[in-house]
């Protein structure tokens, strides 16, 4: 409500995530007047810092235009900072006292963003529960992965959180759910008549979800090595995209109805098997074209001889009436040839082709980034005298269709959703448990049997074995995506 005070607490305010993502997001929301006027920001971390230090750290990431200088000063005036540890109740009592100073009016809500390493998730949430809950309004907790590293550790964290908070107080971020095109998947599917009737195993041959990054671990090798690409990207971001492609139409656009359908998709998915996986690790290309790039093992923060995968492709199945037998390929990798995230729905061949085998399969492509677009690959008569056909596209590229549109960042949408109390784009605990069920056996197997990834060169499309695997399962390549 309008006059309410909101206190937004950033735990881990001195860290990387806070300076690169959280403060810039809070600034944009403040600048654009999207969050309630009476919102106060309180940073919390171990180091003895001041708001001035926080400002210095985050300012390079804020993207302040010249004419916004005043406004950014005003934003930092709304900021405060408290130092304290994550396991000392006294420190959280002090944080609570600080928060109370700024709470005015009859309704005061509190949001806690945990921009923290996972080893302090439990102690800090216990302390929030015991000492910092709002007494005159709601409290919401925003947490970000890693939510454990397998079923067991994730269940432990979920049990811990569920004992402290109600599900509606917990906002588990998967920032892919904040992306325009990921949100658009439901609009495309359920807001159009043309896709629905063919959205099934009768008509769709395969689904390919891709995530490609053109850079390596960039000094994050330590964190990355203990997780690997499957935990970092596939078990969360990519599986979310798969669920939105595969789910049945929800009863409504309400958060529980949507999440119920997503969970059902996951429940129909068998555990991933080793023979359906290709793992890769990049090596350097010192003499390659362009800039010399270092291999994964050349990163000093990566343990010597590490067999952690930086690339993975898996074939998943959704064994229900709609999808049984349709392979869903999830492909993701670092240090590849380009930055791209997309969903590609490949239809079956046209039956009874009269065009001498020239018809190519239709594809519906949803490009998540960069350059948001939806396009349909389709056959068309080559214009002119001949009666040949050729492949072309029905093209909805946002850059040309919605000129001048500035797309909000995923974090901006998601943090705004937390203010509004909308959990549509957040991960429910049963959804998380299902995601781990699908990937835990294979992750354990890879680790206990020390399965070695194949190598691929920095800046290439990744292991050829991945292309072979999806081709063998029925995917047709018409280009080099």
CB-side neighbour CA atoms (13 Å) of 18: 25
Tokens representing 472?
């063998």
| Cα torsion 253, 255, 258, 260: sign | negative
Sort 187 into a burial class: Cβ within 10 Å, 0-12 / 13-18 / 19+. exposed
Would you say 175 or 361 has its CB closer to ligand BG6?
175
**Could you give the string, one character per residue 290-329, with x where binding to ligand BG6 holds by CB under 6 A and - elsewhere?**
----------------------------------------
Cβ-contact 218, 334 below 8 angstroms? no
Per the structure block, which two tokens stand in for 58?
Answer: 């985050």
* CB-nearer residue toward ligand BG6: 179 or 361: 179
User: What residue spans of 321-463 are helical by DSSP H?
Assistant: 398-401, 410-420, 429-448
Query: Among candidates 242, 241, 239, 249, which has minimal Cα distance to 196?
Result: 249
Q: What's the longest Cα–Cα distance across the chain?
A: 83
Report DSSP letters for 132-173, one per residue. ---SSS-EEEEEES---SSHHHHHHHHHHHHHHS-GGGEEEE
Q: In this structure, what token pair is assigned to residue 362?
A: 């239709």
Q: How far is the CB of 92 from ligand BG6 (least distance, A)?
A: 28
Pair type for strands 373-381 and 277-283: unpaired
Closer Cβ to ligand BG6, 134 or 279, answer by number: 279
- Spatial CB neighbours of 440, under 8 Å, sequence gap ≥ 6: 150, 151, 152, 271
Q: How far apart are CA 351 and CA 335, in angstroms?
A: 39
Contact 76, 59 (CB under 8 A): no
Site map for ligand BG6, 117-156, x if CB under 6 A? Answer: ----------------------------------------
Q: Which of 6, 80, 175, 237 is catalytic?
A: 237
- Name which of residues 212 to 231 contact ligand BG6 (CB under 6 A): 213
- Site pattern 363..382 for ligand BG6 (x: CB under 6 A): --------------------
Residue 237 appears among annotated catalytic residues:
yes
Task: Compute the least distance from the CB of residue 462 to ligand BG6, in Å.
Answer: 16
Q: Give whichever of 178 and 295 is closer to ligand BG6, judged by the CB atom.
A: 178
Q: Is 232 in the site for ligand BG6 (CB under 6 A)?
A: yes
| Binding to ligand BG6 in span 327-366, by CB under 6 A | 341
Nearer to ligand BG6, 238 or 297 (CB): 238
Under rule CB under 6 A, residue 417 binds ligand BG6: no
Nearer Cβ to ligand BG6 (215/477): 215
**167 to 206: interface string for ligand BG6, x by CB under 6 A:** --------x-------------------------------
Residue nearest to ligand BG6 (CB): 232
Residues at the site binding ligand BG6, with contacts judged by CB under 6 A: 175, 213, 232-233, 341
Q: Give the catalytic positions in this structure.
A: 237
């Amino acid at each position: 409500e309008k006059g309410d005070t909101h206190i937004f607490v950033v735990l881990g305010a001195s860290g990387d995530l806070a300076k690169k993502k959280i403060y810039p997001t809070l600034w944009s929301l403040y600048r654009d007047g999207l969050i309630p006027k009476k919102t106060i920001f309180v940073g919390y971390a171990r180091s003895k810092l001041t708001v001035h230090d926080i400002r210095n750290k985050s300012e390079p990431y804020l993207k302040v235009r010249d004419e916004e200088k005043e406004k950014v000063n005003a934003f930092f005036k709304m900021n405060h900072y408290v130092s304290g540890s994550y396991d000392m109740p006294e420190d959280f009592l002090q944080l609570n006292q600080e928060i109370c100073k700024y709470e005015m009016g009859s309704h005061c809500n509190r949001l806690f963003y945990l921009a923290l390493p996972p080893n302090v998730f439990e102690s800090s949430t216990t302390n929030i529960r015991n000492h910092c809950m709002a007494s005159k309004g709601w409290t919401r907790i925003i947490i970000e992965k890693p939510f454990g590293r397998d079923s067991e550790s994730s269940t432990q964290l979920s049990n811990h959180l569920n004992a402290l908070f109600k599900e509606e107080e917990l906002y588990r971020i998967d920032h892919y759910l904040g992306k325009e095109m990921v949100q658009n998947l439901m609009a495309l599917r359920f807001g159009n008549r043309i896709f629905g009737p063919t959205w099934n195993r009768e008509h769709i041959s395969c689904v390919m979800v891709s995530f490609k990054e053109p850079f390596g671990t960039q000094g994050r090798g330590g964190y990355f090595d203990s997780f690997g690409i499957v935990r970092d990207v596939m078990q969360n971001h990519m599986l979310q995209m798969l669920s939105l492609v595969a789910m049945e139409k929800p009863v409504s656009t309400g958060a529980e109805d949507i999440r119920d359908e997503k969970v059902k998709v996951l429940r129909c998915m068998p555990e991933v098997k080793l023979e359906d996986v290709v793992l890769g690790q990049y090596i350097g290309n010192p003499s390659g074209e362009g800039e010399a790039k270092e291999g994964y093992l050349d990163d000093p923060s990566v343990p010597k001889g590490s067999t952690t995968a930086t690339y993975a492709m898996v074939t998943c199945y959704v064994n229900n009436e709609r999808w049984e037998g349709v392979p869903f390929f999830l492909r993701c990798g670092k240090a590849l040839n380009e930055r791209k995230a997309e969903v590609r729905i490949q239809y079956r061949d046209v039956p009874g082709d009269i065009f001498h085998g020239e018809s190519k399969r239709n594809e519906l492509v949803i490009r998540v980034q960069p350059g948001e677009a939806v396009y349909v690959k389709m056959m068309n008569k080559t214009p002119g005298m001949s009666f040949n056909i050729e492949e072309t596209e029905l093209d909805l590229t946002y850059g040309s269709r919605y000129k001048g549109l500035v797309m909000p960042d995923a974090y901006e949408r998601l943090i705004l959703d937390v203010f509004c109390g909308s959990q549509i784009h957040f991960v429910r605990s049963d959804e998380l448990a299902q995601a781990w069920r699908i990937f835990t056996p294979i992750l354990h197997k890879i680790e206990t049997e020390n399965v070695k990834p194949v190598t691929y060169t920095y800046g290439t499309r990744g292991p050829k074995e991945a292309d072979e695997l999806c081709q063998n399962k029925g995917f047709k390549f018409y280009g080099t995506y």
